[in-house]
Each structure stands twice: as C-alpha cells, then as structure tokens.
Amino acid sequence: MTGLLAAPTASVPVLAPGDVLLVAFQGELHDGAAEQLQYDVAHRIASGPAPVAGAVIDISGLDMVDSFLGRVLAEIAASASLPATRTVLTGMRPAVASTPKELGLTLPGLVTALDVDAALSLLDRSPRPAPPAHPEEGA
C-alpha cells in the first residue's frame, strides 16, 4: 500500500504508511474515542486491504494514561498480536510512564521505543515469517 490513508476515527488518526499502522494521540482522549480507536485498529488489522506488519502507537501528545486508556492500549496490543502484528508504544514520557505502574497496570504485548523512528526501525528488524519454501526444479 502506498501513501497515507486515514481511518475515520474521530480524534485519533490511524495512518497506514506501507504495512504499518501509525496511531498518534493529539491531546486527551475521552473513553468513547478510545473505544472507537480500539475498534478501528482491530478492524484495519483484520480486514484491511493489505496485511499489517506492525502498529506504532505514539502517546507523546498525552499528559497522562489513566486505567481505562492503559487497558485499551493493552487490548489493542493483544488483538494485534493474534494475526502476528507487533505493537510498539512510543513517546512515553517519565511522568506518563509512572502512571500505569502506580495504578497496577501491566501492558503485556507492548514493546516500547523512544520515538516513532525507533519504533519503525524496530518493526523493520523484527523477525517476519519465512516465505513458503519452493521445491527446487529437477530435484
């Protein structure tokens, strides 16, 4: 897939540069928009026009992560991992990083990276399934 295509999420754009979904938070997110985002990401992974190799979630625009948003992020990662899509969380500032720990939240399935560029590099280096073996002719 070429170019950037935005999904119809109200407050959080879901972009698709190539085979990676890019989700960038732009300010605070109300619960309904977080649930819509979760649906949009899962829908894009499951029924998009091309396979999705990874999802990058950039939370650098957030001042805090509450328990509900932490659960949504964990569920996005869990649903993305079913079709072998890796999820990388970027832009977590120290003040934001301490909130899930203080609330007793774990974010299983989420790999973290310093920024979007590092996340894309991480996804590029991640192991991908080997292509199916082709029998050699005449063997």
User: pLDDT per position in the chain (139 positions), as tens?
Assistant: 334 444 444 467 788 877 888 988 887 778 888 888 888 888 888 876 677 888 899 988 887 778 788 888 888 888 777 777 888 989 888 777 776 677 777 766 678 888 999 999 988 865 444 444 454 444 4
* pLDDT for position 18: 79
Q: Which residue, 62, 53, 43, 46, is CA-closest to 21? A: 53
Residues 99 and 42: their CA atoms lie apart, in Å, by 25
Q: Which residue reads 């299983």 in tokens?
A: 108
Q: What is the pLDDT of residue 16?
A: 82
Give me 91's structure tokens.
Answer: 């832009």
User: Which homologous superfamily is 14-125 in?
Assistant: STAS domain (3.30.750.24)
Which pLDDT score, from 0 to 100, does residue 117 have? 92
Reading phi first (left if > 0) and then psi (alpha if -120 to 50, else beta), residue 84 is in left
Distance separating alpha carbons of residues 59 and 94, to the nearest angstrom: 12
